[in-house]
Structures are given as C-alpha cells and as structure tokens.
Amino acid sequence: MSRMMCPRGTDDLLPEALPALDHVFAAFHRTMDTFGYREIRTPMFEETALFVRSLGDESDVVSKEMFSVQRGDTNVTFRPEGTAPVVRAYLQHNLDKTRAFQKFWYGGPMFRFERPQAGRSRQFYQLGVEALGSHSPLLDSEVVLLAHRAFAAMGLRNYRVHCNSIGDAEDRTTFRLVLRAYFQPLLQQRCDDCQRRFERNVFRMLDCKVPQCQATNKAAPQFLDHLRPASRARFDESLAVLQAFDVPIIVDPGIVRGFDYYTHLVFEVRCPDLGARDAICGGGRYDGLIEQMGGPSLGAVGFAIGVTPTLLALEIQKHPAIAPRENFAAVFVAPIGDSERTAALRLCQQLRDQGIPCDTDYEQKSLKAQFKSADKRGVKVMLVLGPDEVQNGRVQVRALHLGQDHQLALDSELAAHVRQLLATTKTAP
RNA sequence: GUGGCUGUAGCUCAGUUGGUUAGAGCAUCAGAUUGUGGUUCUGAGGGUCGCGGGUUCAAAUCCCGUCAGUCACCCCA
C-alpha cells in the first residue's frame, strides 16, 4: 500500500483532537498571565551553531537527533528545545542591557530525530518558561511553583516534583572528583553504559536504571552532601518556600539532567500513571548559559513541559476536557427542497452575521437525513424551511437537546430567540 | 542505533491441522405508505488479507526479505 502518510514520528491533529490541546495551552497561558510571564515566539529553526553552542556537541541531541538542513553555505536546524532560542533572542535584542530581568513563556512544536515511542515523537509540543537575568533563589522556587500551578490548572492529578541541586561549576568540579573516587574500584561491576559514563559524564551514573548498577548507587556519595554551605543553603531555602506552598516535592538525588548548562536547582515533574516514560516536565537553573552564549554573567532559570506526555496522562486520568469532541456548528438550517435552498443560505448567513455558529445542507439530503446527521454532529437547534415557511416569512425551530418545537417569524428577533435556546440546558424531569 | 510484538473493510477484531465466491460488530449511505433526529428493523457500498519473493495441486494461514506501526533500551519533554 503506497498511500501517502505523514512522516514517521509525526501526527496529524484532527479537529476532534484539538480541543484537548487547546485546553492544555489555555490553562498554561492563564497561569503565565497571573505570574507575570509574557509570551515570546522565536523561529521554528535556528542556525545550527546555536544548539551546538548551548547544548554541547557531546550531547545526544546535537550528535544524533538534530533535524538539520544545509542550503548553500547556511546550515539551520529545526529547534530541538526552546531555551537556546529564547536566550538568543534576549541577547540579540539587547534585553540584557535595557531590562536585564525578564520572564518569558513560549509554546510550540520542537523537533528531534529519534525513534518514536509512547509519549515521544519527532515533532512534539512543548510549553516552557525562561526567567532570564537574575540569580535570585526565590525564582528557583517560583518556577517550580509555576509548573505545579500550571499542571493544577490543567486538571492533572497524581504527580510529584522531583528536586535536586547540582551546585555551581565549582561544586561540580569537586563532586566529580568525589564520584570518580567512589566509582573507580566499582567500575568492574557496572554496565557497559556506565563504563562510558565514567569518563564522559560521571553524574549520569547516578540515575542508571540497570539493577546491578542501582545496587552500588545506594551507597554512592550524593550531591547534596558535597555542596558548599552557600549552595546547600540556597537549595534548602527553595525547598522551604515550596513546602510552604504545598507543592508535592520529593528530594531525589537521582535527578541529574542531561544538558551541560544546568546549575543548582534541577527538577523533573513525574506522573506515575504514565509507566516507563513518566516525566512530563523538566527544568532548573542554568546560570552558565547566557554567558556561554556571549552575554554577560547573568542567572537564568526555567522549565519545559512535554505536552504530548501531559495529554497522555490527562487521558489516562480520564479528564473530561481531553475526550475527543465534535465541534460542529450548534445551529443548522434545513431546507426541505431545492426551492428553499437560497432562503436557507440567506437565513444561515444572517445568523452567522449575528455571531451564531450556523451551517446548512450542501448535499441535497432529505429532511430526515439532515436531521439524522445533525443529531450525530451535536447540533442543538434545527431551523426548518419549507415552501409554507418561506411564503409566510416564518421558520420552524426545533431544539434537539430540549425536544421542543417553535414557530418563529423570520425577523430581527430570531437570532435572540435562537441564542436563548442555545443557552438553555435540559432540566431533569 | 539495538531488541520484542503486530500488520485481514474507515475502526475493533474473527478466520479451525494450509482447502471453493474472506466474515462479524461498530461506522458510512439508502429505505421502513412520500415535511422531522436520538431507539428499532431492512438493505447497500466498502478488502489484490502491508508489499515482494519462495514452498505447495492449493497460502490470509508456512518460510525468507522488505516496509510500516507499536512497545522498550540509549537519551530526553
């Protein structure tokens, strides 16, 4: 079968699926407004060098997951994540010099060339925030609180925020030595991946999922115990704030994060209902990034929500806003025969002009068939036009959801009547 | 990139140890004394059984390949 299909790892969002996406975006947007974050939109693709510089050419994303396009001597990449583009825009427009501290949110598709699986695709949607230009520990807490409130606004239940601190560059240098010293004699017992991680990124050995590795991880030194007092105090301060706001926190030494630019607070939101891939949000502080990208030494903190897994979680939890919805026009004008077709179109348009979503028949269906299909599409009000109605300047109005019939005049009052019928809900008998 | 599972109608699936014109439910469309929905009844359309090759008198069924989907690993939202 050689039918055309959308490329592997992509999905068509059909009309009935979009209300779910809208629900998540709208809840996020509302939350951002109340916290004073403003939306920013950057291009879908950037110069490849931007991501190489921010993520590091050692990272998996850069080394094997980028959607890149070479055109003449320019090489661009469809954005695999949202942080680097926002920081780039911030610096490009000299915001660091005019109003250094700014809070942004963004949302939209991201692209990574990887093997699709449950809750993960090659084009996926992220909603994220970036609070740029401040080192304040208060912001660390605010950002986590913000993620929590956003999920709450979406109606998600049963999730936990896993938090950890990985200190600053100095803490990490120290801890790297401590970890290497600990793992060196145990290296024989570790899996192949950990053998590689020992040199490349020791920290990742801490969240290895292989059972034999987890055994030696239990007694492994923890970041939190090797932070300098100032770093440790800052983490404790953040935790205290979050506990005061009843955020479901779990301190989890296994949270290490993949990208190089993270510092101090790192966190992940997980929803156990999802099974193997349970992370729905990841973020933290990344104090080195702005400077790394050619800007001044300013702090930054943010997170990104994976919309796809979030929708999956809401679906599993049977959230009503996620169910597929047929969003057809609520009013339908049904001409009985061909002679009423023009009048029907005119009436239909008249209601549309009044802001009432309205549709009519285009296929010369029988009246019965029009009723049947209208019922299936969730139409609430049917307006029937036959020869008699047209001649008398009247229309038959049937409220399908109420089971009521009315005869109404085709005058300026009609729209108001229809509007009223739409607003009426069926009362229990 | 690695591994497991799965490909039969628009959807969910039957299809007996290989054996005639491949079935059901739902969905779609049309009817049930000719201007009215949801229930019910009747009927219709719709499939080169993912694709290619092989074994056989005979393949949806067995074998090989390939493509696609899916789940998991690596990594990550």
> For residues A380 and A152, what is the distance between their CA atoms, to the nearest angstrom?
32
Top pLDDT among A27 and A205 is at A27
Question: Which pLDDT value is given to residue A63?
Answer: 72
> For residues A110 and A361, what is the distance between their CA atoms, to the nearest angstrom?
40
Question: Which pLDDT value is given to residue A258?
Answer: 60
> For residues A64 and A70, what is the distance between their CA atoms, to the nearest angstrom?
16
Question: Which pLDDT value is given to residue A259?
Answer: 67
A171 CB inside 7 Å of strand B: no
Q: Is the pLDDT of residue A285 over 50?
A: yes
The nucleotide closest to A207 (CA, C1' atoms): B75
A239 contacts A182 by C-beta, under 8 angstroms: no
Q: What is the pLDDT of residues A241-254, one digit of tens each?
A: 999 998 999 998 87
A167 contacts A227 by C-beta, under 8 angstroms: yes
A422 contacts A330 by C-beta, under 8 angstroms: yes
Backbone angles phi, psi at A163, to 5 degrees: -120, 150
Tokens 């949202």 found at: A82
> For residues A80 and A109, what is the distance between their CA atoms, to the nearest angstrom?
9
A270 contacts A93 by C-beta, under 8 angstroms: no
User: Which token pair is A61?
Assistant: 């994303």
Q: Is the pLDDT of residue A260 over 70?
A: no
pTM (2 d.p.): 0.88
Q: Which of A98-112, A273-287, A401-415 has the highest mean pLDDT?
A: A98-112
Q: What is the pLDDT of residues A326-354, one digit of tens each?
A: 788 999 999 998 899 999 999 999 999 99
Q: What is the pLDDT of residues A161-180, one digit of tens each?
A: 999 998 888 888 888 888 88
A363 to A253, A344, A359, A370, A387: CA distances (angstroms): 64, 13, 12, 9, 19
**What's the CA–C1' distance between A154 and B9, in Å?**
39
Task: Give the list of residues 6+ apart from residue A329 with CB closer than 8 angstroms, or none.
Answer: A357, A358, A359, A379
SS3 assignment, position A240: helix
What is the number of other CB atoms lying within 10 angstroms of the CB of residue A399?
Answer: 18
The pLDDT mean for chain A works out to 89
Mean pLDDT of A44-57: 89
Mean pLDDT of A225-252: 92
Task: Give the list of residues 6+ apart from residue A66 with CB closer than 8 angstroms, or none.
Answer: A48, A51, A77, A78, A80, A112, A113
Question: Which pLDDT value is given to residue A229?
Answer: 93
Mean pLDDT of A15-43: 94
Please state at what angle helix A414-423 crosses helix A341-353, rounded to 10 degrees.
70
Q: Is the ipTM of this complex over 0.90?
A: no
User: Which token pair is A111?
Assistant: 């692209």
The nucleotide closest to A256 (CA, C1' atoms): B76
A204 CB inside 7 Å of strand B: yes
| Strand B nucleotides in reach of protein CB atoms, 7 A cut-off | 1-3, 27-32, 35-38, 50-51, 68-77
Question: Which pLDDT value is given to residue A222?
Answer: 85
A234 CB inside 7 Å of strand B: no
Question: Which pLDDT value is given to residue A386?
Answer: 93
Q: Is the pLDDT of residue A1 over 60?
A: no
> For residues A12 and A6, what is the distance between their CA atoms, to the nearest angstrom?
7
User: Which token pair is A44?
Assistant: 């879908």
Helix (H) or strand (E) holding A281: strand A279-285
Q: Is the pLDDT of residue A257 over 60?
A: yes
